[in-house]
Structure 1
Amino acid sequence: MGFLKACCSLMGELSSSAQNGKSKWGTFFAPTLPLWMMSNGGRDGYKNCPWGNQLAKTYNPYTDAPHTIVTRRYDFNISRGVIAPDGYEKRVILVNGQYPGPLIEANWGDYIEVKVTNSIEDEPPEGTAIHWHGFLQSGTPWMDGVPGVTQCPIAPGKSFTYRFRAELYGTSWYHSHYSAQYAGGLHGPIVVYGPRNVEYDVDLGPIMVNDWWHKDYYEVVKEVMAPGFAGRTYSDNNLINGKMNFDCSTKAAGDNTRCTDNAGLSKFKFQSGKSHRLRFINAGAEGTQRISIDGHNMTVIANDFVSIEPYDTQVVTLGVGQRVDVVVHAHGKPGSSAWLRANLTSCSTTTQPLALAAIYYENADESTMPKSTAWNIPDPGTCANDDLALTQPYFPMTLPKPSFTHHMDIGNFHNASNNFLWKFGGVTASVNYNNPTLLRNQDMIHGKFQPEANVINYGTNSSVRIIINNLGPGPHPIHAHGLNMYVLAAGPGNYSEAESPPLNTRNPMRRDIQMVTGSGHIVVQFDTSKNPGVWPLHCHVAWHSSAGFFAQMLFRPDQLQTRPFAVPYDVRQTCRDWSAFTNQTVPDQIDSGL
């Protein structure tokens, strides 16, 4: 009853920048997005399409990106702040004082350059690094933003400039990859404009959905890594573009002197008779989301950075880190309104699963809440993505034969200290912030990585197939850096090459994250010859990565030691800065580091 009471007055606007983190997302001040950006950085030009006559159906998104010779520059300052996105005040880590962080925009083929300054210098000082989720980083593996893997953390008081190419187009996000830091607020959206596979009238831009903890992220990591942890930690709320209400009278509120009812919800505008593109991003730490709009069908047009053959649905399922782009035809009448719903699924652990945002048509009373009714589509309880038969890439690709097949089972256990840890491929992994794998590979002539690094050297293999059997009851969003996976199969039970149905090798779904269900399996394949580097393969549940659920895929190690892949000076300088910092201050790395 408490939540329903809160909903009855949930249209109040956020009252101060301390609450909303100065972000315009989820407000009527948020901009709609263009079809592309002008070469000079403007957002209102439509005359000269930067990719010319290249179409989504006929041009290979992995090889045909135009050479725009344009660089989009951004300046990020990472610092602590206090906000109350759902009315509960807490200390967080912000990008330019905003939550969610500012939008990065580029055209397909542009370069993106982001100067990141680490101003987390107050107690305790922390390192940081930002991962540009879904970007291939071809030829720039040291820009992937994973401390202990591709770089050292950026030391407090220091800066590092990332520069990489927008080789793919669509919707993505950036987030810290330093421990579970992004769960404390350090994330934001990315849009790369490119060819369209469906026409639409209005681009409403990014809609980030995420579970939210009232505890500091580090407190949750301590809980997860403590002896006797049972394997489940409960989020306090669910947010849409950084907003949602919370009932301060509940026991879950804890210290309710830090809590204010009716913080306000996100709001969006629909125009009657027009079609709207919505870019959903699951930026959460643990929870799988089911997203719907009351009374409105959604046409799915892209999964992650991959355009797909359009299909209609009422509900989309997003695991952590996944994105889905949809087009919604606004068939409602002027003056009407509807709820946008994001539900943390039954296989997520949360106190408050439902997040709401209000969609208003023109002439609607924006001071009242919608009265629409949710679709009657029960949660199946599997946390599975849509059937692979529905999700066919718009640009078809022939699957090469694998040169190597690898089994990577998922398991968990309690160690001798009674810590709850994960095994991936038989290893509980961790990284050394002071000695990143990529730099170590380049500097060593003959040598071996430590077993706990879980480095898998695929050598000169051209294409690798991985069979992942999930031996536990919980689902996992499996994320691959530096590539898109071909998803050949996904389903319940263990995969058996002798007994399971034939794999789909004819234009299978491609994406950078795929859900594996509890006690289920996925079979994925990827090209290892096209992108030399060290690429993490991990569960994107932040707390699972913290407890060792990841591997490092090493592609073409000999090629990485050649001159074209010489690690730039500023990357090595970041390690020198980090070494100087850790000589004075010992970081409290209590988890895997990822």
Structure 2
Amino acid sequence: MIVPSWSAPLLAALPLLGGANAAAAKRADCNSALTFSGATYSLGVDSAAQTPYAVINAPGSSATTVPLPVPTSSKATIVDHAETGTAAAPSSTAAANGVNNAAAGGSAAPATTTGSGANAGSGSAPASSGVVNAAASGSAAATPSVCAGNTATTRDQWCDYDINTDYYNEVPDTGVVREYWLELLDMTLAPDGIPRVVQTVNGTIPGPMIEANWGDTVVVHVTNNLNNSLNGTSIHWHGLRQSFNNQNDGVSSITQCPTPPGQSYTYTWRAEQYGSTWYHSHFALQTWEGIYGPLVVHGPATANYDEDLGFMMLSDWGHRTVDEQHDYANTQGAPVLDTGLINGMNTWTSNTTNQTVGKRFETNVVAGKTYRLRLVNTAINTMFKFMIDNHNVTVIANDLVPIKPFEADIVPIHIGQRYDIIFTANQDSTASDFWMRAIPQVACSPVKNAKDIKAILHYGNSTKTPTTTGYNYTDECTDFPMTDLVPYVPMNAQSGVTLRDAATIAKNSDGYYKWSLNSTTMVVEWDNPTLMSVYNNETNFTQSNAVIELPQANQWVILVVDSTLPLPHPMHLHGHDFMVLAQGVGTYNSSIPLEMTNPPRRDVAIMPASGYLVFAFETDNPGAWLMHCHIGWVSSNTAQTFSRTTQLTNRQHAIQGFALQILERYDEIRPLIDEDQLEGNCQNWDSFDQVHDLVQTNDSGI
């Protein structure tokens, strides 16, 4: 069969519209009727306009004709109902788990399009998204073997692997390539009902979900159309180790030059880990203007559950852009933001008119079933405690590491961290509707609307507003106890070289706050990323590059980060899962015992206020890897500034520079670099820079 050139969006749309198997849709004749999940889809072409459409016949409903977009280039797209507030999501009702299974994986996409679509008061959200699954577009590298993944009663299984598989050394070879297209846009949206300038991925906040199976290869084409703000960009795949693949880590000034407006950059990586994470910009403050989204890799789990409810992405939010508040943050300290969002949604009640605008995220459950939720803290400055009123949860993973399940009422989650939790819908005798709360911890940072960052859990078809009460909690900035976070696949730390970094802060001569690690505030250059220096065999790095060189392979490194300042910091290391050996208040000294036997493993952990964090990793991954605090005001992600109108400027501002880079196994990095991609993107940036005369003033570059 010859498939028409416009068929890619049609075939990609069907699995999302009806939970259909993408591969089956691809095999079908474009004029035939397909039946999936009880609905029949008839595909056709308007003979006059020569445009594709789908006719959907669902049980109990009249036929609906859905026009499908015709791509103007070779990239495929999917239908996205963001403008109507209806998420184009895979089915969440399937018992089986895995992208390739006929029920679309049993993993519900988050209400990313729901949130932004419902809140797009300016009507600026586009009607089509740029995500495509390779199984629908025909770009799979090979024909994978049929694998159902797992079912509600066999979550610990995964094809020929299981939860006991050492995923650091063994990864399924699926032969599948999943391809996505992301477009970054300057827009005006109203996530909580209050319109403001934002930056989006495919027109929504959060952006669309990137989804794969354990072992798949993922290709993501990112087009920078931030033409109003004139911002460069890069996209980081948070928590993915990128084994021997440093160039695809997506960090401006480290692994690449920023991609300028009007240009695209393609990232390719293999899903060697499984679980819940996110992608976000690693340039300027773009993450907290809206450039982020969920990322899931399906695989085994340490506990059974019936259905996957998808992501709960927690964020703080201001009615003025974070760039507008950047000068204040650098001269006065972190500003107090107005509110928070759950999956890009919330309400706002005016203090003067008492009028409420916006909409909350809502989800429905069936009494007696058990559900999985994927929590992500995407905030710029806020630690949350998450709870579901009247429900206990079981924690089954931290970051991308499966752990031995333990029960909790409340989940503390700092910036960049992720927790996978399951809960049973067993409170139908108590109420039909319950609040799901994300409560900012004032001990970390206050938020004005702190008591009203909520979503709603409905039993059955109820649509009532909850009247339930949350759990009592202690306001604090701490992780779960280390003894709770026990990795399911055990690994021990080993002694090795010890590095110590003391964190301090002071104002520079311009009056800007600058963080330092060992008296060094990190500064790297947009137009000369570290990988370019490595490719050119340069070995002399300045002190401000904040480079720690670790040339020896498979050496254990113990890093101590401590501070006398009363401020907690979520520390994130790229390229590795690290082992948390010690964590506490006070000054670290050698008399403090280190947990070397199967300690917690993750990629973000808290250095407590006036305290220390000790963690270890093995030099098993050549590359230039960033380590930084994930608080946006103090870390690497600060730069170009929103004006106080609806435009962005290219004026550069100060950064507080709480970061360093680990140059691991220098001699092995150069052969891993794609020179054409690295040099080509930097040439694009240089050309853009020459036209717009950008100046990197007091900015770390990342």
TM-score in terms of structure 1 length: 0.89
Q: Aligned-pair distance for 1:392? A: 0.3
Relative to 1, partners in 2 of residues 1:24 and 1:570: Cα closer, same or farther, differing over 3 Å? farther
Asked whether 1:451 is paired with 2:543, we answer: yes
Whole-Å separation in 1 of the counterparts to 2:695 and 2:339: 27
Deviations 1:470-492 (A, max 9, x none): 22111110000000010011111
Q: Aligned-pair distance for 1:138? A: 1.1
Whole-Å separation in 2 of the counterparts to 1:414 and 1:393: 41
Residue in structure 2 matched with residue 584 of structure 1 by the alignment: 691
Whole-Å separation in 2 of the counterparts to 1:24 and 1:309: 41
Percent pairwise identity: 34
Q: 1:552 aligns with which of 640, 661, 671?
A: 661
- Computed over aligned residues only, the root mean square deviation of the Cα atoms, in angstroms, reads 2.3
SS of match in other structure, 2:280: strand
Q: Aligned-pair distance for 1:215? A: 1.7
Residue in structure 2 matched with residue 425 of structure 1 by the alignment: 518
Q: Aligned-pair distance for 1:136? A: 0.8
Q: Aligned-pair distance for 1:39? A: 7.8
Asked whether 1:37 is paired with 2:99, we answer: yes
Residue in structure 2 matched with residue 168 of structure 1 by the alignment: 273
Correspondence 1:100-139 to 2 at 5 A? 100-122=206-228, 124-139=229-244
Deviations 1:390-423 (A, max 9, x none): 1100110122222x10001111011122211101
Q: Name the stretch that deviates more: 216-225 or 334-343.
A: 216-225
SS of match in other structure, 1:456: strand
Q: Aligned-pair distance for 1:180? A: 1.4
SS of match in other structure, 1:360: strand
Q: Name the stretch that deviates more: 161-170 or 448-457.
A: 448-457
Relative to 1, partners in 2 of residues 1:582 and 1:21: Cα closer, same or farther, differing over 3 Å? farther
Correspondence 1:61-80 to 2 at 5 A? 61-80=167-186
Residue in structure 2 matched with residue 7 of structure 1 by the alignment: none
SS of match in other structure, 1:276: strand
Q: 2:149 aligns with which of 37, 45, 49?
A: 49
Q: Aligned-pair distance for 1:40? A: 10
Query: Is residue 388–residue 435 contact of structure 2 (8 Å, CA) maintained in 1?
Result: yes
Whole-Å separation in 2 of the counterparts to 1:281 and 1:434: 32
Whole-Å separation in 2 of the counterparts to 1:152 and 1:286: 26
Residue in structure 1 matched with residue 406 of structure 2 by the alignment: 311
Deviations 1:340-392 (A, max 9, x none): 0001101213222231111000142x0x211111112232x2x1100001110
Greater radius of gyration (CA): 2
The letter for the 1-side match of 2:493 is: L
SS of match in other structure, 2:323: helix
Q: 2:325 aligns with which of 200, 206, 220?
A: 220
Correspondence 1:288-299 to 2 at 5 A? 288-299=383-394
The letter for the 2-side match of 1:571 is: L
Whole-Å separation in 2 of the counterparts to 1:281 and 1:467: 26
SS of match in other structure, 1:441: helix
Relative to 1, partners in 2 of residues 1:69 and 1:25: Cα closer, same or farther, differing over 3 Å? farther
Whole-Å separation in 2 of the counterparts to 1:41 and 1:23: 25
Whole-Å separation in 1 of the counterparts to 2:327 and 2:700: 12
Query: Is residue 177–residue 217 contact of structure 2 (8 Å, CA) maintained in 1?
Result: yes
The letter for the 1-side match of 2:379 is: G
SS of match in other structure, 1:263: strand
Residue in structure 2 matched with residue 12 of structure 1 by the alignment: none
Query: Is residue 174–residue 190 contact of structure 1 (8 Å, CA) maintained in 2?
Result: yes
The letter for the 2-side match of 1:179 is: A
Residue in structure 2 matched with residue 531 of structure 1 by the alignment: 621
Correspondence 1:167-316 to 2 at 5 A? 167-225=272-330, 229-249=331-351, 261-316=356-411
Residue in structure 1 matched with residue 68 of structure 2 by the alignment: none
Whole-Å separation in 2 of the counterparts to 1:113 and 1:297: 38
Number of residue equivalences: 552
Correspondence 1:429-508 to 2 at 5 A? 429-445=522-538, 447-460=539-552, 462-497=555-590, 499-500=591-592, 502-508=593-599
**Structure 1: any 5+ residue segments left out of the alignment?**
1-19, 251-255
Residue in structure 1 matched with residue 12 of structure 2 by the alignment: none
Residue in structure 2 matched with residue 60 of structure 1 by the alignment: 166
Residue in structure 2 matched with residue 22 of structure 1 by the alignment: 82
Q: Aligned-pair distance for 1:451? A: 1.6
Q: 2:445 aligns with which of 338, 348, 357?
A: 348
Residue in structure 2 matched with residue 14 of structure 1 by the alignment: none
Query: Is residue 91–residue 105 contact of structure 2 (8 Å, CA) maintained in 1?
Result: no
Q: Aligned-pair distance for 1:31? A: 4.7
Relative to 1, partners in 2 of residues 1:24 and 1:102: Cα closer, same or farther, differing over 3 Å? farther
Query: Is residue 26–residue 266 contact of structure 1 (8 Å, CA) maintained in 2?
Result: no
SS of match in other structure, 1:218: coil
SS of match in other structure, 2:327: helix
Whole-Å separation in 1 of the counterparts to 2:106 and 2:488: 28
Relative to 1, partners in 2 of residues 1:586 and 1:458: Cα closer, same or farther, differing over 3 Å? same
Query: Is residue 336–residue 361 contact of structure 1 (8 Å, CA) maintained in 2?
Result: yes
Query: Is residue 24–residue 30 contact of structure 1 (8 Å, CA) maintained in 2?
Result: no
Relative to 1, partners in 2 of residues 1:409 and 1:21: Cα closer, same or farther, differing over 3 Å? farther
Query: Is residue 28–residue 269 contact of structure 1 (8 Å, CA) maintained in 2?
Result: no
Whole-Å separation in 1 of the counterparts to 2:578 and 2:81: 35
SS of match in other structure, 1:582: helix
Whole-Å separation in 2 of the counterparts to 1:25 and 1:109: 33
